């Protein structure tokens, strides 16, 4: 799949491009994973989710929350560094 964003992180309006990532947080009880999506225009988190696993449901829930809260129009690009 081609990298359409190609590290071009300057955008002109909200909800044009969201970027997503997952991070591991070490806790006393074990590992916790955080999936988050950020709007490149405002640099604010638009959706996130946490779980003790890194299955696809984690990123799907974070994206669903972002879509529900922001209700972007057609044309939104969602980018992660995963294929």
Q: What is the pLDDT of residue 81?
A: 77
Tell me which residue range forms the domain holding 71: 17-79
Q: How many domains does the chain have?
A: 1
**Rounded distance between C-alpha atoms, residue 22 and residue 37, angstroms:** 9
Does residue 23 belong to any structural domain of this protein?
yes
Q: What is the pLDDT of residue 19?
A: 94
Instruction: Tell me the per-residue pLDDT of 62-74, one tens digit each, with 9 for 90 and over.
Output: 999 999 999 999 9
- State yes or no: pLDDT of 2 exceeds 80: no
Q: Are residues 39 and 13 in contact, defined by beta-carbon separation less than 8 angstroms?
A: no
Does residue 31 belong to any structural domain of this protein?
yes
> Do strands 17-27 and 77-79 pair parallel, antiparallel, or not at all (unpaired)?
parallel
**Rounded distance between C-alpha atoms, residue 34 and residue 53, angstroms:** 9
Q: Are residues 54 and 62 in contact, defined by beta-carbon separation less than 8 angstroms?
A: no
Does residue 3 belong to any structural domain of this protein?
no
Instruction: Tell me the per-residue pLDDT of 24-52, one tens digit each, with 9 for 90 and over.
Output: 999 999 999 999 999 999 999 999 999 99
**Rounded distance between C-alpha atoms, residue 66 and residue 7, angstroms:** 22
């Amino acid at each position: 799949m081609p990298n359409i964003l190609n590290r071009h992180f300057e955008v002109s309006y909200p909800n044009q491009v969201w970027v997503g990532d997952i991070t591991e947080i070490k806790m006393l009880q074990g590992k916790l994973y955080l999936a988050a999506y950020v709007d490149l225009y405002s640099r604010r988190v638009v959706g996130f989710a946490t779980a003790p696993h890194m299955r696809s449901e984690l990123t799907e829930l974070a994206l669903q929350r972002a879509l529900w809260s922001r209700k972007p129009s057609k044309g939104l690009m969602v980018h992660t560094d995963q294929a």
